[in-house]
Amino acid sequence: MVDTSRGEAPAPPVEEPRGCLFALSQPPLMIFLTVVGSLLLMAALHDLFLL
């Protein structure tokens, strides 16, 4: 059998940097943003209709 190896191990794949879409896919962040958004919405509705 012919030896086709080069003697060096192949380089590990370079991990790509993770951007905003990866961060937004995390459940704790989405829960936090939902809570903050709902509080802002309730404050805006309170200002519009009750003040």
State the pLDDT at residue 48. Answer: 94
Averaged pLDDT score across all residues of the chain: 82
| Closest CA relative to residue 20, chosen from 12, 29, 32, 31 | 29
State the pLDDT at residue 45. Answer: 95
State the pLDDT at residue 17. Answer: 77
Indicate the pTM of the whole model.
0.57
Question: What pLDDT, in 10s, does the model give residues 24-42?
Answer: 788 998 999 999 999 999 9
Cα-Cα-Cα-Cα torsion 31, 37, 42, 46, nearest 10 degrees, comes to 160
State the pLDDT at residue 24. Answer: 75
Cα Rg of the chain (Å, integer): 26
State the pLDDT at residue 4. Answer: 67
